[in-house]
Amino acid sequence: MKTKQYKDKLGEMINRGLIKEVSEDTYLKMLEILPPQEMGEGGYNFKDVPLPIDEHFLVGEPSDHNERGEAVYECYVMALGKYWYIGQYTSVEDNYFN
Tens-digit pLDDT profile for the chain (98 aa)? Answer: 566 777 788 888 888 888 999 999 999 999 998 889 888 886 556 767 878 888 999 999 999 998 999 999 999 999 889 999 998 888 766 554 44
**Which alpha helices (DSSP H) does the chain contain, by range?**
3-15, 24-31
Residue 50, CA distances (Å) to 2, 61, 84 in order: 11, 25, 12
- Alpha-carbon span 48 to 33, nearest angstrom: 25
β-bridge mates for residue 56, sequence order: 40, 77
pTM attached to this predicted model = 0.82
pLDDT of residue 58: 92
